[in-house]
Structure 1
């Protein structure tokens, strides 16, 4: 028996904020950026600068790296363009901090709070020299001819399939994916999953290993052996996380293997990796190697 979600609310434009990462390695930045792409599905979207001329709205700083703190000091964040620290913040820091390991939803919420406060400050800032400019759209006098932040159209709908015979797991996945406006379908067994994957293109399939009838390994092999579906990312979910179980998943062709219970942060980081935009970036990096 298949379950499909209720009709989703119409997508609305997101407000884009330029986020600059300071004190992170290139690998860390790539991992952070892949998950931040998920915010393109939220009311507030956070993206890296398109180029050196684009001013930052908010700074994300690795507080455990002295270089990151030095770069932040050079950027001089303020109430109109704030900073958020990751890790152990200095005792005298005026900026909020999120502990490591990163909890993604908490990080997104902290960024939202910081930008709501910044927008409020921009709106209340008087126009310089009696000029006519709207503080809601511009964060500094130097930016009065450059509207910020811009509104961006929502990304194309991406479909995700959750295959699990547990109603609890399906409900968990529904709750965690709903804020990001994915088109989510559900299947309770492997036979239904294979049929649905052949009938509809999915960005990612979350696949339980232990199910009645066809198990997850068999389903994964079927999906990865079919030219029409082999490009779909398959993430296996299992309470078995021994090296042998992970090897079986890899041998079946899965792209990732998550242990149950699935953590929210691990789930978001994983699905962020398999969005088409994230895959294009990864291929670009590999091609330069």
Structure 2
């Protein structure tokens, strides 16, 4: 992202862009919306319009759906309000395409690139003395200008418990873009003490550790009134049905295999964020 373009965003703040999804089913929209809530912790955040008075900043289109492609033509996307497609490459030529299955970080990167270019074009237009209406899309002509940068929301706290420095570095790298308040523990005993002292939204817990193993730590966390509200996601290279049963018996909320797939990690985070939990659970219920 061009640093000059983010200068208008206060440190620790977020610039919100209105995103319109075209050609997706309701279930697909719900899944996308729950994941886009994660971008609220990034310099560029994306969300659907709160009301009809908000203009669309960027379009996300299902390239495999003819109805979605037809809808986009009526919206007249341009350099000031661009589009990103999800689907097969070669379907469209005008805008970037993110292939399925969706790699979330690649999608966020494409959205950021398009909006960085759009902000540059908007700045150039303003520099020429643009009156706010001329050459603007007819649908947007009477709408107010985009909202200014806003302060970032309070970060959720996340605890990563793993004796492997490699895993801790991986998790730090993947969680950093979303501005979570992330702490790390190398042992189960340390994790229990930290969880008692601080409220965590989500705890990523390795199973095989020196001293107390992850199953024991999970049981302790879930049996304590002070910590039972935290979502516990167990991490393990063991993925047999028996191992998953032991995790469920210990009270864990989710189970991820190692190495942790990035998309599964993001989906799991979205599932346990308070702002995304209702939507994510409804999608999971539909899929079952």
TM range (shorter): 0.7 to 0.9
2: CA distance, partners of 1:174 / 1:282: 24
Q: SS in structure 1 opposite 2:159?
A: strand
Q: How does 1:115-264 map to 2 (within 5 A)?
A: 115-125=115-125, 132-133=131-132, 140=137, 142-143=140-141, 146-264=144-262
1:127 touches 1:134 (CA, 8 Å); kept in 2? no
* TM-fit CA distance, 1:144: 6.5
2: CA distance, partners of 1:92 / 1:48: 23
CA 125–207 in structure 1, closer or farther in 2 if over 3 Å, else same: same
* TM-fit CA distance, 1:172: 0.9
CA RMSD of aligned residues (A): 2.7
Equivalent residue number for residue 30 of structure 1: 30
2:218 touches 2:250 (CA, 8 Å); kept in 1? yes
* TM-fit CA distance, 1:126: 7.0
Q: SS in structure 1 opposite 2:49?
A: coil
TM-score (norm 1): 0.86
2: CA distance, partners of 1:261 / 1:202: 23
1:53 paired to 2:53: yes
* TM-fit CA distance, 1:231: 1.4
Equivalent residue number for residue 5 of structure 2: none
How many residues get paired? 274
Deviations 1:65-95 (A, max 9, x none): 2232222223222222111001114545311
1:112 paired to 2:130: no
2:61 touches 2:85 (CA, 8 Å); kept in 1? yes
CA 149–93 in structure 1, closer or farther in 2 if over 3 Å, else same: farther
1: CA distance, partners of 2:225 / 2:54: 42
* TM-fit CA distance, 1:271: 0.9
1:163 touches 1:188 (CA, 8 Å); kept in 2? yes
1:88 touches 1:99 (CA, 8 Å); kept in 2? yes
2: CA distance, partners of 1:101 / 1:92: 17
- Range with greater deviation from structure 2 (256-265 or 27-36): 27-36
Equivalent residue number for residue 95 of structure 1: 95
Q: SS in structure 2 opposite 1:125?
A: helix
2:63 touches 2:92 (CA, 8 Å); kept in 1? no
* TM-fit CA distance, 1:63: 1.4
Please list every run of at least 4 consecutive aligned residues from structure 1 whose deviation after the TM superposition is greater than 6 angstroms: 283-286
TM-score (norm 2): 0.86
Q: How does 1:9-88 map to 2 (within 5 A)?
A: 11-88=11-88
